[in-house]
Amino acid sequence: MAEDARRALPSVERVAAAMGCTTLPRALVVDCARRAVDAARAALDGNGHGNAMPPTHDAVVEHALALAAAGTLELLQPVINATGVLLHTNLGRAPLGDYAITALTAAAGATNLEYRLAEGTRGSRHAHAGSLLALACGAEAGIVVNNNAAAVVLTLAALARDREVVVSRGELVEIGGGFRVPEILAETGARLVEVGTTNRTRRADYERACTDSTALLLKVHASNYRMIGFTETTPVHELASLALPVVVDAGSGLLDVHTPWLDAAPAWLQDEPGVRQCIDEGAALVTFSGDKLLGGPQAGIVVGRREFVDRLAAHPLARALRADKLTLAALQSVALSYLAQDGAAIPLWSMATTPLDVLRARAAAIAGAVEGSAVIDTEAAAGGGSLPGLTIPSLGVALDVGSVTNALRELRVEHRVIARSEAGRIVCDLRSVPPAADAVVADALRAVAAATH
């Protein structure tokens, strides 16, 4: 009986043909068909009594189509970030602007990545984005690698292997995604010398720890947590007076506290350190992310004194950690935007600084198109592990729904809109939504509202 039931199962070929999928490559369709047939067979075998009815042909095809739909959702694709978290790590952090997208598209073909057009000879991939970013923050030289974690690894490996690195106990942090300062130090062969206490570390603590084996003093910006109360950290300029190279992991990558705004920096940035200010205070090197507050592609940037940047570029790990031409092209355009003081070209900054009345008008337009929805005040955030606890005033469109879980899923799966829940409602926060996507958000909310009411 069980034999018969197994024989009655449709073949993988028949299921694949019946699926009628034309958008997916055939190999993927066949894979889904095979998994559906395997599952039907396993269900029969698992029954144990040999008297199970085989699933119908249609049921197997339906399961295969569900697998194909699930597989399609796994593909990398554009989504609309309506979470209000501007640098959402799971959603790819900083969005790129038209200028950067054009630049990376143009670099997709042959490009002078490591080629000097004037001489027709071999050049350096650090000549473009790295040098321009150095100029934008007043440093002598710069180099770009895959991400800031790689930038820190390269810096320590090139400058501190088998030597000592002095770090405040208050800065032995975990940045997330497994990046722990003490572990990174150990991996690069540098010896950690802890100084001070969790809440207070003074210049004299560093001074006492310096020996002939000290390679550098490392200052790590505690991007993702905030310590309040009886605290004291040693500013870069005081560390720089100790006659050893000071390396600052600035993390969030605010390039300059004075740009790209022509007037004042947004209040919520508060005392976020700027890369330019660290250089001005005497840091030998500063490392930071390309896709946090810089507003560019994923990258790690090291700027500072030329002698040190040259040592990083010459280290064998530089080859393993280097950035690709698409990243460098996008990053170059971001650097040029900073040099042109053109904050509007960087979506992160245009989103972060959009006036509330502009957001209110956009929210009202969406709410006007979605019955049962309302404009509400919200709190957006920088995200990406930067500026913890600080929020950016924002506006959103809220909708009462039967099931928040189901509504959020429908927004994701049917419309690729990632919203959030708040007080039993779904909320699309407009600060993280590009204005061009408002119509999609309105359509998606209308569909969810129609399903609810």
Ligand X SMILES: *Cc1c(COP(=O)(O)O)cnc(C)c1O
In terms of Cβ atoms closer than 10 Å to its own Cβ (0-12, 13-18, 19+), residue 268 is middle
Cβ atoms of residues 268 and 84 within 8 Å:
no
221 sits near ligand X (criterion: CB under 6 A) = yes
Query: With respect to ligand X, which residue has the nearer C-beta, 173 or 395?
Result: 173
**Binding to ligand X in span 332-391, by CB under 6 A:** 385
Q: Comparing C-alpha atoms, which of 158, 294, 267 is closest to residue 215?
A: 158
In the chain, what is the greatest distance between 2 CA atoms, to the nearest angstrom?
86
Residues 6 or more apart whose CB falls under 8 angstroms from that of 411 comprise 82, 417, 418, 419, 426, 444, 445, 448
At its nearest, how many Å lie between ligand X and the CB of residue 389? 15
CB-nearer residue toward ligand X: 147 or 332: 147
Q: How far is the CB of 382 from ligand X (least distance, A)?
A: 11
For residue 331, the minimal CB distance to ligand X (Å) is: 13
The CB-nearest residue to ligand X is 251
Query: Which is closer to ligand X, CB of 107 or CB of 149?
Result: 149
Q: Which is nearer to ligand X, 81 or 223 (CB)?
A: 223
Q: What angle do helix axes 306-314 and 148-160 make, rounded to 10 degrees?
A: 100
Q: How many residues bind ligand X (CB under 6 A)?
A: 14
Q: Select from 217-225, 276-284, 305-313, 444-452 the region that touches ligand X (CB under 6 A).
A: 217-225
* Alpha-carbon gap, residue 335 to 343, rounded angstroms: 11
Q: Please, where are the H alpha helices in 261-403?
A: 275-280, 306-314, 316-321, 325-339, 347-352, 356-369
Nearer CB in complex with ligand X: 188/223: 223
- Tokens 């075998």 correspond to 45
Nearer to ligand X, 343 or 385 (CB): 385
Tell me how crowded residue 107 is: count the other CB atoms within 10 A of its CB.
Answer: 21
- Placement of tokens 């000879």 in the chain: 121
289 binds ligand X (CB under 6 A): yes
DSSP β-bridge partners for residue 193: 166
Answer yes or no whether residue 233 interacts with ligand X by CB under 6 A.
no
Is the CB of 194 or the CB of 422 nearer to ligand X? 194
Q: Which stretch binds ligand X (CB under 6 A): 25-33, 197-205, 220-228, 315-323?
A: 220-228
Rule CB under 6 A: choose which of 148, 233, 234, 337 binds ligand X.
148
Rounded distance between C-alpha atoms, residue 231 and residue 81, angstroms: 36
Q: Which of 300, 347, 383, 396 binds ligand X (CB under 6 A)?
A: 300
Instruction: Compute the distance between CA of residue 299 and CA of residue 381 in angstroms, rounded to an integer.
Output: 22
Minimum CB separation of residue 172 from ligand X in Å reads 12
Stretch of residues binding ligand X (CB under 6 A), selected from 127-135, 216-224, 274-282, 342-350: 216-224
Q: Choose which of 88, 131, 154, 179 interacts with ligand X (CB under 6 A).
A: 179
Q: Which one, of 422, 420, 434, lies nearest residue 362 by Cα? A: 434
Compute the residue count for the chain.
Answer: 453
Contact residues for 342 (Cβ-Cβ < 8 A; gap 6+): 260
- Which one of residues 147, 201, 277, 337 is an interface residue with ligand X (CB under 6 A)? 147
Does residue 223 touch ligand X according to CB under 6 A?
yes
Stretch that binds ligand X, among 231-239, 249-257, 312-320, 374-382 (CB under 6 A): 249-257
Omega before 260 cis (within 30°)?
yes
Out of 31, 164, 249, 429, the residue judged to bind ligand X by CB under 6 A: 249
154 vs 433, beta carbon nearer ligand X: 154
In the complex, least distance from residue 125 CB atom to ligand X, rounded to whole angstroms: 18
> Interface with ligand X by CB under 6 A: which residues?
147-149, 175, 179, 220-221, 223, 249, 251-252, 289, 300, 385
